[in-house]
Amino acid sequence: MTSPQRLVWDATARTRGWFVLASATAVLGSAGTLVFPWAMARALDAVVARRPGTGPVLVCAALLALVVTTGALQTLANGGYGSGTVAVLRRSLARRALDAGVPGTADFPAGDLAGRLSAGCAQAGSAGVTLVTASAAVLTSLGGVVALWLLDWRIGLCFSLGVPPLVLIARGFMNRGSGLFLRYQEAQGRISALLLEALGGARTIGASGTAAAETRRVLEPLPELSRTGHRVWALQRDTGWQVGLLIPAVEVLVLCAGGLALLHGDISAGELAAVVAYTALAMAALDQLDALFALGMSAAGARRVAEVVDQPVPAPGTRARPAGGPGTVTLSGVTVRSGTRLVLDAVDLVVPAGTALAVVGRSGAGKSTLAALIGRLREPDAGLVAIDGVPLRELTPETLRAAVGYAFERPALLGTTVAGTIAFARPDASREEVAAAAGAARADDFIARLPHGYNTPLKDAPLSGGEVQRLGLARALVHDPAVVVLDDALSSLDTATEAQVGSALASAWSGRTRVLIAHRVSTAARADLVAWLEGGRVRALGTHADLWQRGDYRALFATGTAPEGAPGHGTDPHTRESA
């Protein structure tokens, strides 16, 4: 497992320029800050003794300029380093989530992933800046302690008496706080996931009148969040008052020792002023409660990011598909599990090149899982999936994406414009190709009615479910793969439009291998072959006309839809069109 520390360090290596600048300016600033009290003491002693003080004053001015300049540069470097590290972490998390696919992110609801991407990465990415800043403060403090010892050993001893209690306080804070910070972020992630889920079903909730119940469900983790938050605040409070008592006590002790040393003539008036300044600098190490809190939150955020980054990603292949391969799809002994449930059980299936295969079965039979396997959107737990005899795991990602295309029941409209979402899989597609694909998917009519036609921004294009599906089909047409998988991609179309679109797609994809996840009897009727899944296995494979003779096959389809595709009810079961 990737450790959170390694994750942040790898991100730091990608922004090493800013890190080096931040570290260098922090060290120079600390050095200037440490030397300044000494120079000030020399100037003050010169004034008291009525000696020329030009040299010490010029040194003080130069040191002030150094501290101000390095402070400004450090602010700039911290911003570049922090934002760069956060960007690297977010790219890594987003890329891993997309590469891992549905199986790899099944344990991370969308809202939780969004929280990890936004807050988790931001908190993890701030660790480096916090460490640089805190390290500079500690370095300055150590220098101040050394200076106190050099000025007078009794002064240094008085300050050192406060170090052991500080170590105990800091250790207790981190030991108790790390688990609390993680639980707090996890509770926030659960609320985000539940809220996003509820927003996705807002119409159903409104129609059902269950807003109050849904609100209670979304906020169910809130008591835990509140308890954890109160425990965090209690920890901050307890640590705060302990540090708040320790710092003044140490300051008073040190200043008393300095005053006594001055009375006995062991130090000068300028050196007493330096004692005051060095005491304030040394106290910086005792006053790092905010940095400890930030580091605790950063560690929790990095741990949550690492959980996603550690998800396994299928290794890319290195082979190309045979040139001119016809598109034969083969599944051999394919088994897929979801937890303890067997989704597909040793499935053997061959889809001949150029064939339209409809996959039917009851809900949960494994239809969409089988569809995902064909394009390697998920990996089988056992068995082999191949195209033209080449296992999918051996194909390069570019070859695989060119060979297999998809249209889904609820396609995501990606891109900025209508034309952009149609050409999403082929950004180099011409406007003529985009328009031809939209025409074949019967999408050109409603696109023409949009404010700017194909150039209409997606956010300004109000679309029905059927129109969104037709844009998804147009995108698959522009993609132009050898194997097309339609995962219930016509379910939102009315019967007449489905027939028109199905006929156009059959013509456009003539000779292409098509796998159709079918819920409508008409879709199965237009396919060359039907694979009937039940209990994760292929119960039967044959033509729709042959299978229709079986009552349990007919029972798969809704009563009202049976006549439109059933033999003897107005549709020829031997019509071989792809839906």
| CATH superfamily of the 329-565 domain | P-loop containing nucleotide triphosphate hydrolases (3.40.50.300)
Question: Per CATH, which fold does 4-309 belong to?
Answer: ABC transporter transmembrane region fold (1.20.1560)
Question: What residues pair up with 337 in beta bridges, in sequence order?
Answer: 342
Q: Which two tokens mark 244?
A: 């708040």
**Greatest CA span in the chain, whole angstroms?**
119
Q: Which two tokens mark 318?
A: 């290195």
Residue 304's contacts (CB-CB under 8 Å, 6 or more residues apart) are: 116, 120, 182, 185, 186, 189
Considering Cα of 247, then 250, then 256, then 259, what sign does the dihedral take?
Answer: negative
Of 312, 301, 309, 310, the residue nearest 118 (C-alpha): 301
* Confidence at residue 474, expressed as pLDDT on a 0 to 100 scale: 92
Quick one: 41 exposed, middle or buried, by C-beta within 10 A (0-12, 13-18, 19+)? Answer: buried
Q: Which phi and psi angles does 152 have, rounded to 5°? A: -165, 130
In the block, tokens 């007493």 appear at 272
Q: Where in the chain is the domain with CATH 1.20.1560.10?
A: 4-309
Considering Cα of 450, then 451, then 456, then 458, what sign does the dihedral take?
Answer: negative
* Confidence at residue 568, expressed as pLDDT on a 0 to 100 scale: 40
Half-sphere exposure of residue 273, counting CA atoms within 13 Å on the CB side?
14
Q: Which two tokens mark 412?
A: 């995501």
* Confidence at residue 462, expressed as pLDDT on a 0 to 100 scale: 86
Q: Where in the chain is the domain with CATH 3.40.50.300?
A: 329-565
Number of neighbours of residue 533 by Cβ within 10 angstroms: 23
What are 95-114's pLDDT values in tens digits? 888 877 766 666 777 778 88
Along the chain (579 residues), what's the average pLDDT of each consecutive run of 10 residues? 78 89 91 89 82 82 92 91 90 83 68 83 86 85 87 86 81 78 83 82 77 87 89 85 82 85 84 85 71 78 85 82 85 89 92 92 89 90 92 90 89 88 90 92 91 90 88 90 88 80 83 88 89 91 92 75 40 36
Under a CB-based contact definition with an 8 Å cutoff, are residues 564 and 522 in contact? yes
In the block, tokens 């020792």 appear at 257
Give the three-state DSSP class for 394. helix
Angle subtended at Cα 344 by Cα 338 and Cα 350, rounded to the nearest 5 degrees: 145
Judging by DSSP bridges, how do beta strands 356-360 and 529-534 pair with one another?
Answer: parallel
What are 189-200's pLDDT values in tens digits? 888 888 888 877
* Confidence at residue 558, expressed as pLDDT on a 0 to 100 scale: 56
Angle subtended at Cα 122 by Cα 116 and Cα 126, rounded to the nearest 5 degrees: 140
Residue 278's contacts (CB-CB under 8 Å, 6 or more residues apart) are: 37, 144, 147, 148, 151
* Confidence at residue 286, expressed as pLDDT on a 0 to 100 scale: 62
Of 534, 520, 541, the residue nearest 357 (C-alpha): 541
* Confidence at residue 459, expressed as pLDDT on a 0 to 100 scale: 87
| Residue 292 one-letter amino acid | L
* Confidence at residue 287, expressed as pLDDT on a 0 to 100 scale: 62
* Confidence at residue 285, expressed as pLDDT on a 0 to 100 scale: 67
Of 394, 335, 331, the residue nearest 366 (C-alpha): 335
Of 174, 80, 89, 179, the residue nearest 125 (C-alpha): 89
Distance between CA atoms of 533 and 541, rounded to whole angstroms?
Answer: 9
Distance between CA atoms of 473 and 488, rounded to whole angstroms?
Answer: 11
Distance between CA atoms of 409 and 468, rounded to whole angstroms?
Answer: 9
Under a CB-based contact definition with an 8 Å cutoff, are residues 385 and 330 in contact? yes
